[in-house]
């Protein structure tokens, strides 16, 4: 006897849910990418109080179809070309659904042997795919923000100041700890410094060069300055695939510098790490294999539904020393097993490796490479069209599938907010969603291709929309272009 809903009823609703998902994936392109609603429209459809009595699953699924599905921003839409699209896939969705059915909590090997061992195996598969050394041991977190925080906590633990036991406050003998990253790095680096008690003021944003890569001489100079002032350099975070332009920091010489200085090197490859499964893109990231820790998000560009972030750390014993704390009720006696709770601050863990396993097996390494290559080729083609158009220019090199570009304006300071207005017009049309960025203080259009449903026809239609909408604005503005 089960106090859950009758299995037959659940089975029927699961079948219907499978149809809802498959229909959604098949027809998502019919929606505008951004739902045409105003803040509060969804909330108005939802009863203010919870139901006293249970409602039929069919009725709930009807409401899902009517109120929820149309009113999300459609990340699965072929015209979703904003941010780094969290690119789902059929196999990933199946893995996510199966994980929900099992509902295991992989905090200990004992609390789910299969979840623990599959996570280790999948992380090692991905390590091999990215051509990283065998001593990189991976585990899965929710996001790169968590992975970077955990990695930097290990870096802090390596310093001879016993922060774990004594903390940082009220210790005049402890110098300020300093973190170095480029002016293009993701804000998750700043947040890690804030959470770890370093203080935001002790994050050094190192200037980047003309191709948006961290400047090595600037990094060297700032470290020397900090040492001379009695501060303690803790870690450098180099980025392979920065958020705005996907630029790649010179990791190899940064690794040399870190080795000389005894500074922890963390590599943020949250986005572009996935491209490292293709040898030709891995070759763009020399030196990442020398990191003390590295993060890559399969949920950004390896067709795995959010959330799935893999953190590799070389010195797992150190990571455990930073985090392991075993209350009596969690003590188990299996020797030589991994207890995932020892590798970070959280206890409970979802069975995230199941979806990664599904994705890697269903597409195969070659299939994944083909998809990434196709998306990079689409990005290159868009870049070629931009370069060939006298009204536009690329704003940054295009190493992968993200393209940053600007209109050639009479006044590059863009006093008429041409780019913001153009971006808004592209998004208002319905079939596309692109999100701008700012480079050296100038608003920049940015298209990122990472969605399995996006084909050449969508990029062609997008370029047509961009040029047409720009023409409308140019007429509005008179002499808009240079
Ligand atoms: N690192 C880079 C380079 C990113 O672009 C992002 C997000 O886009 C992050 C880290 C943060 O990722 P998450 O949302 O998984 O925390």
Place of tokens 């863990």: 349
DSSP string covering 198-230, please? Answer: S-GGGEEEE-B-TTS-B-HHHHHHHHHHHHHTT
Q: How many CB atoms lie within 10 A of CB 133?
A: 11
Q: What is the pLDDT of residue 398?
A: 98
Give the residue ranges of the chain where pLDDT is below 70. Answer: 1, 479-482
**Ligand 1 centroid – CA 83 distance (Å):** 10
User: 243: Cβ below 6 Å to ligand 1?
Assistant: yes
Q: What is the pLDDT of residue 388?
A: 97
Q: What is the pLDDT of residue 48?
A: 96
Q: What is the pLDDT of residue 1?
A: 61
H or E segment at 301?
helix 298-301
Q: Ligand 1, atom 5: nearest CA belongs to which residue?
A: 243
User: 192: Cβ below 6 Å to ligand 1?
Assistant: no
Residue to mutate, 87, 142, 145, ligand 1, most ligand atoms under 8 Å from C-beta: 145
Q: What is the pLDDT of residue 413?
A: 85
Return left, alpha or beta for 265; rule: phi > 0 is left, psi -120 to 50 is alpha, else beta. beta
- Indicate if the alpha-carbon torsion angle 128, 132, 135, 140 is positive or negative: negative
**Ligand 1 centroid – CA 229 distance (Å):** 32
**Ligand 1 centroid – CA 20 distance (Å):** 30
**Ligand 1 centroid – CA 300 distance (Å):** 8
* pLDDT tens digits for range 379-399: 999 999 999 999 999 999 999
Question: Which atom number of ligand 1 is nearest to the Cα of residue 83?
Answer: 8
Q: What is the pLDDT of residue 236?
A: 98
Q: What is the pLDDT of residue 370?
A: 98
């Amino acid at each position: 006897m089960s106090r859950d809903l009758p299995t037959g009823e659940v089975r029927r609703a699961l079948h219907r849910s499978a149809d809802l998902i498959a229909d959604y994936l098949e027809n998502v392109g019919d929606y505008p990418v951004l739902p045409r609603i105003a803040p509060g429209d969804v909330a108005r459809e939802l009863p203010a109080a919870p139901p006293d009595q249970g409602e039929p699953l069919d009725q709930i699924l009807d409401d899902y179809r009517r109120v929820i599905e149309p009113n999300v921003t459609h990340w699965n839409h072929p015209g979703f070309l904003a941010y780094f699209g969290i690119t789902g896939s059929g196999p990933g969705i199946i893995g996510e659904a199966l994980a929900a059915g099992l509902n295991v909590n992989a905090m200990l090997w004992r609390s789910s042997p299969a979840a623990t061992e599959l996570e280790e195996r999948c992380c090692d598969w991905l390590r091999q795919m990215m051509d990283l050394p065998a001593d990189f041991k991976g585990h899965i977190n929710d996001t790169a923000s968590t992975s970077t925080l955990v990695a930097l906590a290990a870096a802090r633990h390596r310093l001879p100041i016993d922060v774990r036991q004594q903390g940082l406050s009220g210790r005049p003998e402890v110098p300020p700890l300093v973190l170095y990253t480029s002016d293009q790095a993701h804000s998750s680096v700043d947040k890690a410094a804030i959470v770890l008690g370093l203080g935001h003021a002790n994050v050094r944003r190192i200037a980047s060069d003309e191709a948006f890569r961290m400047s090595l001489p600037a990094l060297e100079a700032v470290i020397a300055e900090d040492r001379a002032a009695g501060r303690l350099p803790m870690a450098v975070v180099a980025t392979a695939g920065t958020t705005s332009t996907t630029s790649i920091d010179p990791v190899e010489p940064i690794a040399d510098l870190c080795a000389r200085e005894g500074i922890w090197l963390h590599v943020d490859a949250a986005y572009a790490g996935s491209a490292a499964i293709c040898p030709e893109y891995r070759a763009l990231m020399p030196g990442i294999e020398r990191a003390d820790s590295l993060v890559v998000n399969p949920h950004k560009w390896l067709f795995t539904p959010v959330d799935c972030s893999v953190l590799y750390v070389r010195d797992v014993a150190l990571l455990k020393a930073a985090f392991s704390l075993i209350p009596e009720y969690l003590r188990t006696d299996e020797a030589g097993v991994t207890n995932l709770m020892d590798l970070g601050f959280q206890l409970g863990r979802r069975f995230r490796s199941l979806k990664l396993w599904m994705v890697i097996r269903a597409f195969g390494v070659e299939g994944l490479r083909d998809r990434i290559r196709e998306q990079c080729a689409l990005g290159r083609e868009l870049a070629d069209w931009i370069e060939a158009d006298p009204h536009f220019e690329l704003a940054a090199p295009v190493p992968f599938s993200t393209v940053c570009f600007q209109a050639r304006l009479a006044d590059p300071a863009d006093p008429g907010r041409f780019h913001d207005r153009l971006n808004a017009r592209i998004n208002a049309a319905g079939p596309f969603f692109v999100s701008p960025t700012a480079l050296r203080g100038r608003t920049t259009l940015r298209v990122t291709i990472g969605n399995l449903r996006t084909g050449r026809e969508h990029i062609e239609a997008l370029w047509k929309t961009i040029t047409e909408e720009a023409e409308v604005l140019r007429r509005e503005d008179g002499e808009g272009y240079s």
